[in-house]
Amino acid sequence: MTQAPLLLTMGDAVGIGPETLVKAFARGDAGHCVVIGDPAVLRRAAALPGVGPVMLAVVDSPAELAAVPPGCLPVLVPAGLPEGLARLPWGQVDARCGAAAARCIEHAVALVQAGAGAAVVTAPIHKEALAAAGIAFPGHTEMLQALAAQGAALPPVRMMLANDELRVVLVTIHLALRCAIDAVTYDAVLETLRIAHRAGAAWGLARPRIGVAGLNPHAGEGGLFGDEELRIIAPAIEAACAEGIDARGPFAPDTVFMRGRDTAARRGEFDLVVAMTHDHGLIPVKYLGVEQGVNVTLGLPFVRTSPDHGTAFDIAGQGIADPASLVAAIRMARRLLAAS
């Protein structure tokens, strides 16, 4: 391949991210990729029962990938990583892990922005560890948005969770539910529809069909169970349609995801579904199978994907983590690069 490699960030050092990275390489599912992380952490993961063996090759830049021997996992170590990460106990929140995860993300983004990497695929981070390290972002999406801005105005971004059957784009993400409801505004819904439309167009869908979920039960039932659909969501859909966007709804959130599901037996009514809140949108995708779900950040000037699971501290260090979602994220990143 002549294209720059994918950059895979290590994630939380004591979660399952390092294990899934090593497993993906060991099984041949992570070719033409470079891991941004701590070699000692990855060696510890490779030593878990049923994970390795995998040899590591430390590189100073992604350009050195061509010189890495076949079968070796290439690792690029960013400056400023805390020491002793590989000696920390598995599955426990630690500020050093939060700081290291943030540093890996920062370095990966800088490399992509410089043209040294093709896309960023992030292993899971732990939000408590991030906060303990003093990182002022509640998650990947917000951090990537700030890094992409490079000091300028923040680009509008949205989280999408996708698998082979369903793609869901969220209007709001990491907020308390009471705050998320207040964040469902006309501008936020319209911007989400625009971002979803552009993303679908970038994947080769000339006019993607977008189904919009309501916020309230039965999409408000004409105002009986809440009026956000009448005051906010429907007017935003109307404005999007006036711009040439194929947006429909708002539909009852308890059925719209079934209508958008695309299977071999039945084509979905929608190419994407827009949901108002985090759990409204993510529960149906994850229910179809966490192992195939991929998180995609829409609106960034580069491709970023990740598994749709977290750090799984309860099973970290046992050698039983499934790398399928990480592999799906790598494949999704390649598909998006090919379509762009």
pLDDT on residue 212: 98
Pairing of strands 272-275, 167-170: parallel
pLDDT on residue 141: 87
Q: Which amino acid is at 121?
A: V
Domains and CATH numbers, the chain: 1-156+300-340 (3.40.718.10), 164-288 (3.40.718.10)
> DSSP 3-state assignment of 124?
coil
pLDDT on residue 2: 55
| Cα dihedral across residues 212, 232, 194, 237: positive or negative | positive
pLDDT tens across 278-290, in order? 999 999 998 887 6
Pairing of strands 167-170, 158-162: antiparallel
pLDDT on residue 294: 92
CB 273 within 8 A of CB 256: yes
Half-sphere exposure of 301 (CA within 13 A, CB side): 13
- Nearest-CA neighbor of 298 among 110, 144, 114? 144
pLDDT on residue 1: 47
H/E segment holding residue 191: helix 186-202
Instruction: Quote the CA–CA distance of 152 and 294 in Å, as a whole number.
Output: 28
List, for the chain, all residue ranges whose pLDDT scores fall below the cut of 70: 1-2, 290
